[in-house]
Amino acid sequence: MTKPIVARRNRKPIFVVIIPRFDDLSNSFYAGEVTKGANIAASRLDVDILIHMVDRKDHSRWIDGLMDPNFIDGMLFADIDRDWEVVRLAIRRGMPTMVLNNPTTEPFNTIAIDNRGSARQAVEYLFGIGHRRIASINGDLNTQAGQDRMEGYCDGLEAVGLRRDKKLMKKGDFLRTLARSGAMALLKNVSPSERPTAIFAASDVMALEVMDAAKSLGLKIPEDLSVVGFDNNRELGDGGVKLSTFQQPIVDMSRQGIENLYQMSLGLARLPVKILLEARFIKGRSVAALK
């Protein structure tokens, strides 16, 4: 159990938000929403926030110097890529910790979004409106969110009695270029019977690339292809067709993370903290029932 921080040394509490270096970090929807939520909590609680970027391949090497409870009152890990050893290290140093988006049955403090359940819901919804060839463009499987959304897609197939087909599962890594390549592999130079009628893309960025690739091949959205994304990233636009997607409560997740860290630092939290937040499905015009 984390010991409460007794002395404040005449300063505000300071909490560090650890954000891994994503590709195209400056345009990362996730990183931006995490930062926004942390700042909302910091303003309400009158605490200070330190944003710290780390190399995803070696978290501990970059944050070891921050693990001093004399100066830092808690650490919020935006994503640890399932590297629980760095969390154990912080706990051994007496540091209150909270991990976002990496649910676990182990006794760590976590707040996560139900990525797996939401991806399953996407497949079940598409099946329910008549689709039987449902493909996926997977996110980065080195991240918990990417892995969970891929597993949720597979859960959905199993739940509705569809066979898993590796030919319908393409790598996207949450990146535009890879998502477009995956979409072209699914849609170009294939017979209508082999072509998927619906694609679940594990992020809105990738979903919009799927839609653009389909249009470049003369396919209409949603008449020829239904597309579901994940994020509800309003900054991307919609490419002329409002995307059906899942709205993630990332800001709320981050806000709750800082609020729980604050309670931990005072010795008031009941540990371990385990919170799972639902993502809300938002139906746009990118899906249609299969006739």
Does the residue 6 lie in any domain?
Answer: no
For residues 180 and 104, membership in a common domain is answered with no
**C-alpha dist (Å) from residue 187 to 127, 149, 167, 245, 284:** 19, 22, 11, 21, 22
Low-confidence spans in the chain with pLDDT less than 70: 1-10, 22-27, 56-64, 235-239
Residue 33 backbone dihedrals phi, psi, to 5 degrees: -70, -40
**Which tokens in the block code for residue 290?**
């299969």
Per-residue model confidence (pLDDT) at position 125: 98
For residues 101 and 219, membership in a common domain is answered with no
For residues 142 and 254, membership in a common domain is answered with no
Does the residue 287 lie in any domain?
Answer: no
Residue 225 per-residue DSSP state = -
For residues 241 and 125, membership in a common domain is answered with yes
Does the residue 289 lie in any domain?
Answer: no
Range of the domain at 76: 14-113+249-279
For residues 160 and 273, membership in a common domain is answered with no
For residues 105 and 119, membership in a common domain is answered with no
Q: Can you list the positions of beta strands (E) in the chain?
A: 14-20, 48-54, 74-77, 97-100, 110-113, 134-138, 169-171, 198-201, 226-228, 245-247, 274-277, 280-282
Does the residue 91 lie in any domain?
Answer: yes
Q: What is the 3-state secondary structure (H, E, C) of 156-183?
A: HHHHHCCCCCHHHEEECCCCHHHHHHHH
Tell me how long the chain is. Answer: 291
CATH of the domain at 80: 3.40.50.2300
For residues 132 and 228, membership in a common domain is answered with yes
**C-alpha dist (Å) from residue 105 to 79, 102, 152:** 16, 10, 18
Please state, in angstroms and rounded to a whole number, the distance separating the CA atoms of residues 213 and 205. Answer: 13
DSSP labels for 118-130? HHHHHHHHHHHTT
For residues 238 and 158, membership in a common domain is answered with yes
Task: Compute how many other C-beta atoms are within 10 angstroms of the C-beta atom of residue 29.
Answer: 20
Per-residue model confidence (pLDDT) at position 7: 44
Number of compact structural domains in the chain: 2
Per-residue model confidence (pLDDT) at position 9: 53
Does the residue 196 lie in any domain?
Answer: yes
Per-residue model confidence (pLDDT) at position 60: 59
Does the residue 123 lie in any domain?
Answer: yes
Per-residue model confidence (pLDDT) at position 93: 87
Per-residue model confidence (pLDDT) at position 5: 46
Per-residue model confidence (pLDDT) at position 236: 67
For residues 241 and 263, membership in a common domain is answered with no
For residues 29 and 92, membership in a common domain is answered with yes
Does the residue 174 lie in any domain?
Answer: yes
Nearest Cα to 267, choosing from 2, 1, 4?
A: 4
For residues 102 and 173, membership in a common domain is answered with no
Does the residue 166 lie in any domain?
Answer: yes
Please state, in angstroms and rounded to a whole number, the distance separating the CA atoms of residues 152 and 131. Answer: 17
For residues 99 and 119, membership in a common domain is answered with no
